Structure 1
């Protein structure tokens, strides 16, 4: 499995607010299924980040497009494969 960083810059603040509940449900489902490693918003309000776990970039593009923020046009997306380096203990 590989890790992919998906940046979600805000396109429409109004749509971001409107689709927030669906986006949060989507994230919870992805975490429960083991497809999302971590996520969070940027403190400066410019958007957020989702770290996906997947086999390929094509799989991540499909996952990102299913996010209600992306499918509604509230957010854009930019994906980069991420080679994580850490000494942190990762929760299972």
Structure 2
């Protein structure tokens, strides 16, 4: 498995608030599928970050395009493969 950092920069704050519950439900589903390592919003309302744990960039792009935030143009997205360096004990 590989890690992908997905930035979700804000496009429309009003739409982001409107689709927040759907976005969080979507993330919970992906978390239950074992595809999310971590996620969170930026405190300055500029967007958020999701770190996916999947096999390919094609897989993560397919997932991200299903996110309600992206579908409804509340957020844009930018994907980067992430070579994590960490001393923490990881759940995987």
**Smaller-chain TM-score bracket:** over 0.9
**2:59 corresponds to which residue?**
59
Distance 1:43 1:19 in 2: 18
Distance 2:65 2:78 in 1: 11
Alpha-carbon shift at residue 81 of structure 1 (Å): 0.1
The alignment of Structure 1 onto Structure 2 pairs a total of residues equal to: 92
SS in 1 for 2:65: helix
What's the TM-score, normalizing by structure 1? 0.96
What's the TM-score, normalizing by structure 2? 0.96
**1:4 corresponds to which residue?**
4
Distance 2:77 2:88 in 1: 27
SS in 2 for 1:66: coil
Alpha-carbon shift at residue 89 of structure 1 (Å): 1.0
Q: Which runs of 4+ in 1 moved over 2 A?
A: none
